[in-house]
């Protein structure tokens, strides 16, 4: 899959990074409350994916600051 370039302002990148970071946190907290490892694993995976995307948005923000 080829990455699709996005034309986002630094503010939009910040909003996207914060939103994904919040999603990662919420899913991580949700996973902590689950006892069944089979049910918890997909939630933890989603939290990691959200955190990774948040980091990418933050990195893109950093490259656009002038």
Q: How far, in Å, CA of 36 to CA of 33, rounded? A: 9
DSSP 3-state of 32:
helix
| pLDDT of 48 | 95
Q: pTM, whole model, 2 decimals?
A: 0.78
Domain boundary assignment for the chain: 10-64
Label residue 25 exposed, middle or buried (CB < 10 Å: 0-12, 13-18, 19+): middle
Q: Along the chain (66 residues), what's the average pLDDT of each consecutive run of 10 residues?
A: 72 92 95 93 95 90 63
Closest CA to 44 of 26, 63, 62: 26
Are 10 and 61 spatial neighbours (Cβ–Cβ below 8 Å)? Answer: yes
């Amino acid at each position: 899959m080829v990455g699709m370039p996005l034309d986002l302002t630094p503010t939009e990148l910040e909003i996207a990074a914060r939103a994904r970071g919040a999603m990662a946190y919420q899913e991580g907290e949700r996973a902590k409350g689950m006892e069944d490892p089979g049910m918890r694993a997909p939630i933890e995976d989603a939290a990691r994916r959200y955190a990774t995307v948040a980091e990418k948005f933050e990195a893109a923000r950093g490259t656009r600051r002038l």
